[in-house]
Structure 1
Amino acid sequence: MMGQLGSGQDKLFYSFNLDNHVPREHLLRGVDHFLDLRDLRQHLAPFYSPMGRASIDPELMIRMLIVGYCSGIRSERRLCEEVHLNLACRWFCRLGLEDAVPEHSTFSKNRHGRFRDSDVLRHVFESVLCRCMSEGLVKGEGFAIDASIIRADASSAHGVPGSDPVDWGCVKRQSRAVREYLEELEVANPAGTEAANTTETLTQPKRISLTDPAAHWTAAKGSPAFFAYSTNCLIDLQAGIIVDVEATPANRSHEVESTRTMIDRVERRRDLKPRRRAGDTAYGSAAMLARMIEEKEIAPHVPVWDKTTRKDNTLFSSEFLWDELANEYRCLTGHTLRSDRRKFRNPRSRVTNADTIIYRASQFDCESCSMKDRCCPNAPFRKIARSIHEAVRDETRRIAKTPEYKRSCRERKKVEILFAHLKRILKLDRLRLRGPSGARDEFPMAATAQNLRRMAKRFTPETKQMNQAVA
């Protein structure tokens, strides 16, 4: 017998429970189980006036943002529509069927005001990290570091060469990203100082965006150039949990420098100090290795950044014998290379601006040497630049031969998996907000969403109850 619809939608009263209509295995159920925002109001209390009309609950806005980042919803207009229509999103955001969803402009007003002033998005990331630690997902024994380039919200066509003068026009007509860029330039080079009046102290970028001047003009290998920022992630190697994240310009020197910031911050705030740290060659500079081994006592599981190799089939620096006691090199024929062949009345450190010491052979020895064609065919004598941190580089090379180093190389791929997840699943292959502050807003929120998703999929309430029952 053919069925028929009921009495339609003209009922006056309904018995409806949102919780009954959200599947037990839904992602937001797991996220809600591990998200604790009880101290959010206390953190934001100094930034709200005690008088006036009540504002929108900040917890509601944070929960909506988490829904957007967990679901890959990049538009706040689209996010408001999704929360309005989706029962699971309403349940997660603590909204009833008749509760109104905030306007999309509310997020912008709070973001440019109290959210950035209070650094609340970083606070939410830290609270989620604490939950990851309490769940046993952060061991703190080994970390891995890497960076990934994210396109800025700036068109390549709206850019000018870095050498061209730019008239930024009236301050009132400038966008937030432009004002932020000019303010940072003013802080770095205060007006009236000698540095502010010269252009030699600043490295000229190849191209500047007129909409987001702080974005760096960069290009991946084999692809056209674009404006971008870098997200730098420090992860724990046990479960791939992000323990810190930092936004920087898409520049290698800034990316490497962020390593120091993140390691110091994690140690200061969470008392986490790893025994080893994995990374690629970009993090294998001599200064960084010296900081890891000598200052932090962390074993660097990274390849040494070595520029001493030659491509003209001449002898490498490693083929020369180093004598620590005599402070000299010896070539294959037994001749010495010294740094102090010329004596000065006032002793000199002989350290160059590149933190190296130059060791030179005698020109007389090289002219009569039978191996000159293999050693220095285009120079009158052989020179070797030895880093002041060469002992640390040797220690790193020794570590690279251990089985633990090979394990770190395998585990380091977890960072690449997180970046692929960030761009393909969370849809963060292009920033939605402009300026360095926009990148500092988006990257911690994306890292928060990734940590929450990882906890939700590893420890759902049902599996946690089963584990407790077995224990």
Structure 2
Amino acid sequence: MMTRRTIDSRNCFEIVSIEDLVPKDHLVRKVDKALNFDFIYPLVESMYSSQGRPSIDPVILFKMVFIQYLFGIRSMRQTIKEIEANMAYRWFLGLEISEKVPHFSTFGKNYIRRFKDTDVFYQIFFHILNEAHDKGFIDDEVIFIDSTHIKANANKHSGERVLVEQEVKFYQTKLEEEINEVRVAAGKKPFDFSEEREPSLKNISTTDSESGYFVKGEKERQFAYSAHTACDKNGFILGMQVTPGNIHDSQILPSLVDGLKSLPFYHPYGIAADAGYKTPAIAKYLDEEGLRPILPYTRPRGKKGSFRKPDFVYDEYYDQYLCPAGETLRAGTLNREGYRNYLSDKKKCANCPMLEKCTESQGHQKIIQRHLWQPYLDKAEELRYTKYNKMQYSKRKETVERIFADGKEKHGLRWTKLRGLIKNQHYVMLVFAMMNLKKIATWIW
């Protein structure tokens, strides 16, 4: 039998506690039990004056932002609307049912006046990470590193082509020194690297000039930021760094790892990263740091059915390559980029029955390039076949890739409304802090 409700209870009065209105297993209860937010007071105390009108409680101020990033609400304006109607959010903030919620612009004004040029966001991130470590949740035997793009608040058609100076790569100085050492040892004149590098044309946004124009394969071209991230085996985020979206991943890994050294519990055995980090410079850096490289297989380049670089055997003693036909490729001169060309004998190649599979050069000469730091990459390649590397690399999809998926789907990390590198650094840091806090709270519960 169908029942029709005839009583309209919307205007009824009840004596009720806000405590009774929040479900016992709600996320805000788990978070509130996991962390005492009073640690914020000493962090911001010096930023407030001892005179003037009483301010909004800074813990409430930050908790509003925490709610936005914990639940992936798209803006502070929308967050305030949600707080006004959501009893669980009011309970988390410590507000009464009828108490007025601060205006949506309150945090923005406080950010500009107080928090913008401080390290308070890093201190919050670090405090939550320390909580995870104190509870025994951190396992950094292997650190997993990767990056994800965050769409910038800039129209992709609002860019202009500008000549900008080329950025110096992190390994440039060391590479130049070693190149000249090799040349001098071979009786050749060293290169003069003091010459200014030619500027390059880049697409710069007129809306957010600190973002970078991101192009990768068939993906949409857009202005974006990159969030370079390091996490442990349990998926806790240990460190991050935001850069323009057109900065290559391998350029940021050393500074990202160096930043982790300030953590009191930093003692990793290896670094796991995808193919974008598999370069001679990264392999050398990890070797010097005493870190085991855990890098994937990369498919050799070249025409299908033809000989590729792995088909040629390198003879370290004589510094030469041996081709599949048993002939040698002699070493040439080291160039300014740290590569040496190994060239075959044109006369022998011209009459070789394997010529068509080897090279399509009109001069019948095979050329192979080898980097000065290739031995470090070869060492990483040997470790790739070990059971340990295979097992650890397979965990990337459960750790750093899972972080990016959750961040974009649940915490609003797919795009940003903020403009400028510093603002987005703070934004991503707080999102990751909340993701760590959510994991702590869930595990404790």
Instruction: Deviation per CA, 1:323-343: give whole Å up to 9, x if none.
Output: 222222223344332326xxx
Residues 1:419 and 2:409 aligned together: no
Answer whether contact 2:163 2:201 (CA < 8 A) is retained.
no
Q: State the distance in 1 between where 2:339 and 2:163 align.
A: 36
* TM superposition score normalised by structure 2: 0.83
Q: Secondary structure at the match of 2:334?
A: coil
Q: CA shift at 1:391, angstroms?
A: 1.6
Aligned to 2:263: 269
Distance 2:426 2:55 in 1: 21
Instruction: Give the SS at the match of 1:385.
Output: strand
Structure 1 segment 16-415 matched on structure 2, within 5 A: 16-157=16-157, 159-163=158-162, 201-205=198-202, 207-219=203-215, 221-237=217-233, 239-253=234-248, 255-292=249-286, 294-303=287-296, 309-311=301-303, 313-339=305-331, 350-378=333-361, 379-414=363-398, 415=400
Seen in structure 2, the aligned counterparts of structure 1 residues 7 and 385 have a Cα distance that, compared at 3 Å, is closer
Q: Shift of the alpha carbon at 1:447?
A: 0.7
3-state SS of the aligned residue for 1:412?
A: helix
- State the secondary structure of the residue aligned to 2:229: strand
- Distance verdict in 2 for CA 1:278–1:327, change over 3 Å: same
**SS of the counterpart of 2:369?**
strand
Contact 1:285–1:305 (Cα < 8 Å) also in 2: no
CA distance in 2, matches of 1:278, 1:318: 23
Q: 1: distance between equivalents of 2:113 and 2:197?
A: 36
Provide the secondary structure at the position in 1 that maps to 2:114. Answer: helix
Q: Distance in 1 between matches of 2:393 and 2:335?
A: 33
Q: Evaluate the alpha carbon distance shift between residue 6 and residue 282 of structure 1 in structure 2; reply closer, same or farther with a 3 A threshold.
A: closer
Residue identity matched to 2:421? P
- Name the CA distance, whole Å, in 1 between partners of 2:45 and 2:334: 53
In 1, the alpha carbon distance for the partners of 2:49 and 2:200 equals: 44
Structure 1: how far apart are the matches of 2:150 and 2:66? 20
Q: 1:316 and 1:222 mapped to 2: Cα distance?
A: 26
**Match in the other structure for 1:457:** 442
Deviation at 1:62, TM superposition (A): 1.0
1:168 alignment counterpart: none
State the alpha-carbon separation in 1 of the partners of residues 219 and 331 from structure 2: 45
Question: Which secondary structure state, in structure 2, belongs to the residue aligned with residue 117 of structure 1?
Answer: coil
In structure 2, how many angstroms separate the alpha carbons of the residues matched to 1:430 and 1:271?
32
Deviation of the 1:364 alpha carbon: 4.3
8 A Cα contact 2:34 2:444, kept in partner: no
Q: CA deviation at 1:210?
A: 1.9
Q: How far, CA to CA, are the matches of 2:10 and 2:273 in structure 1?
A: 65
1:139-194: CA deviation from partner (whole Å, max 9, x where unpaired) = 1111211111111111234x1331599xxxxxxxxxxxxxxxxxx9xxxxxxxxxx
Percent of pairs with identical residues: 27
Does the 8 Å CA contact 1:286/1:305 hold for their aligned counterparts?
A: no
2:240–2:256 CA contact under 8 A, matched in 1: yes
> Given the two structures, how large is their TM-score scaled by the length of structure 1?
0.79
- Structure 1 residues 201, 111: closer, same or farther in 2, change over 3 A? farther
CA RMSD of aligned residues (A): 2.9
Q: Distance in 1 between matches of 2:93 and 2:336?
A: 56
**Structure 2 Cα separation of the partners of residues 318 and 286 of structure 1:** 16
Structure-2 separation of matches of 1:75 and 1:330: 62
> 1:285, 1:304 within 8 Å by CA — same for their partners in 2?
no
Counterpart residue identity of residue 248, structure 1: T
The letter of the residue matching 1:440 is Q
The one-letter code sitting in structure 2 at the alignment partner of 1:361 is S
Aligned-partner Cα distance in 1 for 2:117–2:103: 21
Alpha-carbon spacing, 1:89–1:7, altered in 2? closer, same or farther (3 Å): closer
SS of equivalent to 2:209: coil
Deviation string 1:376-434 (CA, Å, 9 cap, x unpaired) is 34134332211222222222221211222222232100222222211222233220211
Equivalent-residue separation in structure 2 for 1:256 and 1:270 (angstroms): 25
> For structure 2, which runs of at least 5 residues remain unmatched after alignment?
168-195
Partner of 1:245: helix, strand, or coil? strand
Check the 8 A contact 2:208/2:420 in 1, yes or no: yes
Give CA deviations for 1:74-107 in whole Å, capped at 9, x if unaligned. Answer: 2211212222332211221122335432211111
Shift of 1:305: 5.6
> Secondary structure of the equivalent of 1:303?
coil
| Counterpart contact for 1:304–1:396, Cα < 8 Å | no
Tell me how far apart the structure 2 counterparts of residues 338 and 295 of structure 1 sit (CA, whole Å): 30
Cα distance in 1 between the residues matched to 2:326 and 2:420: 58
Name the CA shift for 1:86/1:6 in 2 (closer, same or farther; >3 Å): closer
Q: Secondary structure at the match of 2:321?
A: strand
Q: Is the 8 A contact 1:44 1:118 kept in 2?
A: no
- Quote the Cα distance in structure 1 between the aligned partners of 2:427 and 2:259: 19
Q: Is the 8 A contact 1:286 1:392 kept in 2?
A: yes
Gaps of 5+ in 1: 166-183, 185-198, 341-349, 461-471
Letter paired with 2:339: T
**Would you say the 8 A contact 2:162–2:204 is kept in 1?**
no
